[in-house]
Structure 1
Amino acid sequence: MKDELDLFMQEMADVKPISQEKSVAKVKDKPSLAQLARREAAEQELLDDPNNLSTEYVEPVDPYDVLAYKKDGVQEGVFKKLRLGQYQIETNLNLHHHSVKEARREIFNFVQDCYKRNIRTINLVHGIGKDSKPYPAILKSHINKWLQELDCVLAFHSAIKAHGGYGATYVLLKKSEEKKRENRERHARRLA
């Protein structure tokens, strides 16, 4: 054993320790042209995006909370009928397994498309999110906020058990301008 140590020390005799500076100077690279182009494209996409749904802080809701909202002017009878699931659901949007970012895009596009197509009652299926991360019901919490931000949404309420219960939300949309015009013309003909 002693012979091995002596042999090792002979071999290492001419080795000198590397001197180290106390501080290391960081070199700050300028962004590449590709990085600058990607950044500019991302900024332009934000400017061009008509989706005004909030990406800011959202007040969390419990997975078993009932979502309920109506704008001023919505009659109690209309809201009650929505709450009880008595309006015919014209279409559904299933948001299971969507990220918050994907859901934000899907909801905005879906609701706008429904409004343009004169669809009045929709069912958003989002799940209760009991095990979602970083906190429970993250998607449900965002949906609660986003639906209140959309101009064409008159009211919404958690669905009855047969349509998804706490994991789904009925949404009542305004009549499109075309439908309003048709109603005015129809009522004007009746009065004349």
Structure 2
Amino acid sequence: MTSKDERLAFLEEMKDVRRIRKSNRADVAARTELTPGHLVRQQAAVEAKVRDVNPLTADVVEPLTAHDVLSWQRPGVQHGVFKKLRLGQYPIEARLDLHRMTVEEARKEVFQFINDCVNYGLRSVIILHGKGERNPDGVAQLKSYLAKWLPELEPVLAFHSAQKRHGGTGAAYVMVRKSDHEKQQNREMHGGA
């Protein structure tokens, strides 16, 4: 069969086929009618309160100034360990900078940061909170809140204002507890029960 014969055979087979006059595009226009189910789900979403699992409180705190030193440790933290933290002798494994954040933004960031430190096995970190020297009332607002928040977080073992080379009283070294997984690994490695 030649190409001319093939073409004639094809046209003979297709003689009853008619062109589709409608557009071959899908109708993607959004439906404007809302079903009763849509309305119920929409109302439930509006009324549902977002559950805040962050335990940090944002009520009134004791105001601290630029030069106040932060210092706190949980019972059981060894004196030598706290001294080493206070002197900035542990390597800084992560940092969080709170400068230019609102109190609410800082509250969320501190909570998430400490949880991330536990998850990633970071033990010695620094939080830069600023000194608040430019505040007209002389109150270091974020520093004041941080001093209240850190003891509220169970994974925080201790914290202390940083050495001058790391920000002085505008930053705080934070010691974070080992995760349960790390504790178990330590016991297995050192033969503990």
TM-score (norm 1): 0.74
Q: Does 1:104 align with 2:107?
A: yes
1:101 to 1:133, Cα distance in 2 relative to 1, 3 A: farther
**2 CA distance for matches of 1:107 and 1:133?**
25
| CA drift at 1:40 | 3.3
| CA drift at 1:37 | 7.8
- 2:157–2:176: 8 Å Cα contact kept in structure 1? yes
Which residue is 2:134 aligned to?
A: 131
Q: How does 1:7-46 map to 2 (within 5 A)?
A: 40-41=47-48, 44-45=49-50
Which residue is 2:176 aligned to?
A: 173
Which residue is 1:32 aligned to?
A: none
**1 CA distance for matches of 2:141 and 2:152?**
17
| CA drift at 1:131 | 2.5
Identity %: 50
- 2:99–2:129: 8 Å Cα contact kept in structure 1? yes
1:38 to 1:55, Cα distance in 2 relative to 1, 3 A: farther
Number of equivalenced pairs: 151
**2 CA distance for matches of 1:132 and 1:122?**
26
| CA drift at 1:58 | 0.6
Structure of larger gyration radius:
2
Amino acid at match of 2:47: E
Which residue is 1:83 aligned to?
A: 86
* CA displacement 1:14-56 (0-9 Å, x = unmatched): xxxxxxxxxxxxxxxxxxxxxx989734xx12xx111010111
Amino acid at match of 1:183: N
**1 CA distance for matches of 2:45 and 2:106?**
24
| CA drift at 1:89 | 0.4
CA RMSD across the alignment: 2.1
Gaps spanning 5+ residues in structure 1: where? 1-35
**1 CA distance for matches of 2:46 and 2:138?**
30
Please give the secondary structure, in 1, of the residue aligned with 2:122: coil
Amino acid at match of 1:121: S
Which residue is 1:54 aligned to?
A: 57
**2 CA distance for matches of 1:183 and 1:133?**
50
**Which stretches of structure 1, 4 residues or longer, exceed 6 Å deviation after superposition?**
36-39
TM-score (norm 2): 0.73
| CA drift at 1:133 | 6.6
After alignment, is 64-73 or 122-131 more displaced? 122-131
Gaps spanning 5+ residues in structure 2: where? 1-42
